[in-house]
Structure 1
Amino acid sequence: MTKKILLVGLAIILFSGVAIATALLLFPYRPNQPPRTDDAGSTQQGIQAVVNANNKFAFDLYSELDKS
């Protein structure tokens, strides 16, 4: 019974590996075709809000890391 469970588990892992490898070979990453973005709705205030939030996060993170 234990050997049967082991073989079934091994077969599932092997099948999953082959499926993943096949998917990666059939649909490779193409760095020459980056995703297209649409920033037509962005505003200077929105960009500044993202920058400020990123800076606050970075300073908070570094201050927490400095404590340890």
Structure 2
Amino acid sequence: MVTILKLHFKDSLGKDRYIKIAKPKKGLDKETVQKAMQLMVSAHLMQSEGADMLAIPLGAKYVTTTEESVYSDKD
């Protein structure tokens, strides 16, 4: 199983934007994640054509997936 932390933002144009964190620390609480997301917004980390890609933090969730190989030349 693979677990990621998926961060959800709105950009300054109103579009949904997501950042996926590989191998996140488990058990992060709401306050910790909100603070980190707000720091990302305040730092203007991502911009495109004058628009902030991370303008409003909306939420975060852990997503766990299971992979099952059907075919691979490497087997």
How does the TM-score come out when normalised to structure 2?
0.26
Structure with more of its chain in strand, by fraction: 2
Query: RCO greater where, 1 or 2, for CA within 8 Å and sep 6 or more?
Result: 2
